[in-house]
Amino acid sequence: MSNPVQEFFRRDRVFDFVAARSHPVIRGEIDTSHGPILYLDEVTVSFDGFKALDRLSLYVDDGELRCIIGPNGAGKTTMMDVMTGKTRPTSGSAYFGQTLDLSRMSEPEIAAAGIGRKFQKPSVFPEHTVWENLHLALKTDKRVWPTLLARLTAAQRDRIHEVLETVGLEDARDRFAGALSHGQKQWLEIGMLLAQNPRVLLLDEPVAGMTQQEIERTVDLLNSLAGAHSVIVVEHDMEFVRAIARRVTVLHEGRVLAEGRMDQVQADPRVIEVYLGE
Ligand SMILES: Nc1ncnc2c1ncn2[C@@H]1O[C@H](COP(=O)(O)OP(=O)(O)OP(=O)(O)O)[C@@H](O)[C@H]1O
Ligand SMILES: [Mg+2]
């Protein structure tokens, strides 16, 4: 191969290979045979003495769809920061499966092990098509053009088709991401996470700013993802949380205030007091 473009991509593949090898965690090794897929045990996060999380314990089962609610400042985002390695616990432990100690893993290691996170603001590539965004999400090399020019395997193309169908963007595959509606951008970003086939998806306020119709489609999407993935959703929109109607955890001042079905936690006097006192 003397063609310089082909040479370039050969180097690219070496880069991918090295990047994959530098992650000590091999995908698919998450052991959930004896317990939850994700658990925080008495996790405290102190910022200059202020406890954003205060001995928080939380267990999420494999395939579960869990909603986390709670007033502003309750510690919801900080909890996700601990699960993704962005913030280290001051004390306590955080495990992925039985064996992976999240407090000892870097953010890329945790992502590679199968915990994907979506932040509130969509971070799609606006000047690329929906298809290209999904193509980019499949690759570990984050350089845009070398990745887009590299050929996809048949399996990767199948995967992109599958994801397009799951997030309902088949008809929009050739549109620029920047031209999508707000809701479609959010689904695309969820699709970009799904392309990497994570075991756990963390979604921070996924329906903020969506129309009613978009919210309803997102309810269907998240319901369809549960089972094959564990999904943890932080959301302020109570109608949405009610529509998902699974186990709900209420955080307050860095701790679990209540946990149960939505109707149970809504009837809990401590929960009512916290929300009315906002
Ligand atoms: N890096 C930081 N340094 C200092 N304090 C912080 C830091 N990050 C979060 N906090 C504080 O920790 C508390 C919990 O914040 P967090 O963002 O986790 O809340 P939240 O439940 O996500 O709130 P919201 O619903 O408003 O998004 C807040 O009082 C916040 O000000
Ligand atoms: Mg938050």
pLDDT band at 181 (very low <50, low <70, confident <90, very high): very high
Ligand with smallest separation from the Cα of 75: 1
Instruction: Look at the block and give the residue holding tokens 């996470």.
Output: 193
Distance 208 CA to ligand 1 centre (A): 18
DSSP H or E segment with residue 38:
strand 38-47
pLDDT of residue 267: 92
**Is 184's C-beta closer than 6 angstroms to any atom of ligand 1?**
no
- Gyration radius of the chain over CA positions: 20
Kindly give, in sequence order, each residue whose CB lies less than 8 Å from that of residue 180, ignoring residues fewer than 6 positions away. 124, 130, 172, 188
Crossing angle of helices 182-195/212-225, nearest 10°?
10
pLDDT tens, position by position, 37-88 = 999 999 999 999 999 999 999 999 999 999 999 999 999 999 999 999 999 9
- For residue 3, pLDDT beyond 80: no
Domain containing residue 209: CATH number: 3.40.50.300
**Is 47's C-beta closer than 6 angstroms to any atom of ligand 1?**
yes
Residue 27, token pair as written in the block: 């995908």
Q: Which of 60-69, 138-147, 213-222 has the lowest mean pLDDT?
A: 138-147
**Is 78's C-beta closer than 6 angstroms to any atom of ligand 1?**
yes
Which atom in ligand 1 lies closest to the alpha carbon of residue 87? 1
Helix then strand then coil, % of the chain, to nearest 5: 45, 25, 35
Which atom in ligand 1 lies closest to the alpha carbon of residue 251? 21
Structural domain including 203 reads 4-276
Distance 243 CA to ligand 2 centre (A): 21
pLDDT of residue 141: 61
pLDDT tens, position by position, 249-262 = 999 999 999 999 99
- Residue whose Cα lies nearest atom 27 of ligand 1: it is 72
**Is 278's C-beta closer than 6 angstroms to any atom of ligand 1?**
no
Domain count, the chain: 1
pLDDT of residue 148: 74
pLDDT band at 8 (very low <50, low <70, confident <90, very high): very low
- For residue 215, pLDDT beyond 80: yes
For strand 100-101 and strand 91-96, is the pairing parallel, antiparallel, or unpaired? antiparallel
Q: Decide if 111 contacts 84 (C-beta within 8 A).
A: yes
pLDDT of residue 154: 87
- Residue whose Cα lies nearest atom 8 of ligand 1: it is 78
What is the mean pLDDT of the segment spanning 187-205? Answer: 94
Q: Decide if 45 contacts 78 (C-beta within 8 A).
A: yes
C-alpha dihedral (228, 201, 199, 215), degrees to nearest 10: 10
Task: State pTM to two decimals.
Answer: 0.86
85: left (phi > 0), else alpha (psi -120 to 50), else beta?
left
Which atom in ligand 1 lies closest to the alpha carbon of residue 71? 25
| Max mean pLDDT range (15-19, 27-31, 134-138) | 134-138
Helices vs strands, H then E, count in the chain: 11, 10
